[in-house]
Amino acid sequence: MSAIAEASAASPGSLRSSHWELWVGGILLTGIVVLALLGPGIAGHDARFVDLDHRFVPPFSTGFVLGTDQLGRDLVARILHGLRWSFATALCATLLASVIGTALGLLAARSGSLLGKTIRQVTALAQSFPVFVLAISLVAVVGNGFVAIAAILGLVTWPVFCRIVQAEAQSLFAREFVMAAEMLRMSSLRLYVRHILPGLVASLSVVIPFHFADMLIAESALSFLGIGAPLGAATWGNMLQESRSYLLTAPWLMLVPAAAVVSLVISANLLGDGLRRRLA
């Protein structure tokens, strides 16, 4: 690389080493995953246990680290329960969308076929399509519940992955080593697995954390609107919705789940940003 190019290559304000974001995001997420795996059990209270003697206990009180809500339920337990729900839903939705999107994207990258053209057209139209509205319509028909929500979110967001995979795959197909492999009559499956997929890993790795964050927000939003997780279930969205009636008297009922959502989203964004600097 010429001296000038090296000197001018500075990504926006990356005054610090790119490893910073990657490590912090990664560690935070790992910690959160551990919490999720440990589950609400560590809270010492049951998430659904209604304790009318201890309603509206503020945070940092003895016995209730994050306080209790309007029905005396321990917030730590509820937050952990919500963590499991949100994390699992977002993860499944992301996995589903990435698998479908990658598969369709690979098909779409093959210019010739009618199938490819159709997928490309659909993906292009999907770009200006308000998927959240579609998700809501789907929930109206199919119902809520973990599987339904995860499936719906995954099924409406595959175009994100499809677009990226399609673009990358197209440029990969045009590169010489792939043409060489094709000339050697390598079987399609082997071609895809050995040559194309590794090339996609970098871009996919960057998109996945961001998509995970988006799914998280979408799921919380659905719960918040009352369309997501069943009412009464301890999810962050539900907790935020319920907190609205008590904003004056018990603001921590809103602040605690809000902080939880924000922390998880920021961790995912950090990881995504770190990966992007590392791999792009």
Partner 1 sequence: MTVVAVEDLSIGRSPSQPIGRSPSQPSGRSPPQPIVQGLSFAVRAGEVLGIIGESGSGKTLTAYAIAGLLPAGLKTLGGRIQIEGRALAELHADERRALAGSRIGMIFQDPLSSFNPVRTIGSLLIESGMRHRRLSRVAARRQAIAALAAVRLPDPATTVDAYPHQLSGGQRQRAMIAVARFNDPALLIADEPTTALDATVQLQILALLKGSLASSALILISHDLRVAASMCDRILVMHRGRCVEQGDAQQVLQTPKHAYTQRLIAAVETLTEGSAPACQAVEA
Partner 2 sequence: MNRMALAGLRWLRELFLLILGTTTALFFLLRLTGDPAVVLAGADATDAQIQAIRSEYGLDRGLAAQYTSYIVSLARLDFGRSLADGTPALAKALTAFPASLLLAGLAMLTALICAIPLGVWLGARRGGVARTIVRWLVFTLQGFPGFVVALLLVQLFAIELTWLPALGYAGPASWILPAVSVASFLAPKLTRMIEANVFGALDSPYVRTARAIGASDREVLWHHALPNALLGAASLVGAQFVFIVTGLVIIETLFAWPGIGWLLVQSTTNLDFPVVQAITLVTVTTVFLINSLIELVQYRLDPRLRRHNPVTLEAQA
Closest CA to 162 of 210, 98, 112: 98
Site residues for partner 2, 58-117, by CB under 8 A, read none
The pattern of x and - marking residues 8 through 47 that bind partner 1 according to CB under 8 A reads xxx-----xx-x----------------------------
Among 1, 128, 184, 189, binds partner 2 (CB under 8 A): 128
Structure token pair of residue 184: 């050697």
Instruction: Give min distance, CB of 264 to partner 2, in A.
Output: 9
64: which strand partners?
61
Contact with partner 1 (CB under 8 A) among 7, 114, 141, 189: 7
Using CA atoms, how far apart are residues 230 and 223, in angstroms rounded to an integer? 8
Give least dist CB 22 to partner 1, A.
Answer: 13
SS3 74: strand
Q: Which residues contact 2 (CB under 8 A, 6 or more apart)?
A: none
Q: How far is CA 149 from CA 70, 84, 103, 138, 234, in A?
A: 27, 14, 22, 9, 15
Q: Select the binding partner of residue 155 from partner 2, partner 1, none (C-beta < 5 to 8 A, by kind).
A: none
CB of 26 to partner 1, least distance (A): 17
What residues numbered 83-102 form the site for partner 1, per CB under 8 A? none
Instruction: Give dist(CA 258, CA 66) in Å, integer.
Output: 13
CA–CA distance, 217 with 126 (Å, rounded to integer): 20
Q: List residues binding partner 1 (CB under 8 A).
A: 2-4, 6-10, 16-17, 19
Binding site for partner 2 (CB under 8 A): 8, 10, 12-13, 15, 121-122, 125, 127-130, 132-134, 136-143, 213, 217, 220-221, 224-227, 240, 243-244, 247-248, 251, 254, 258, 261-262, 265-266, 269, 273
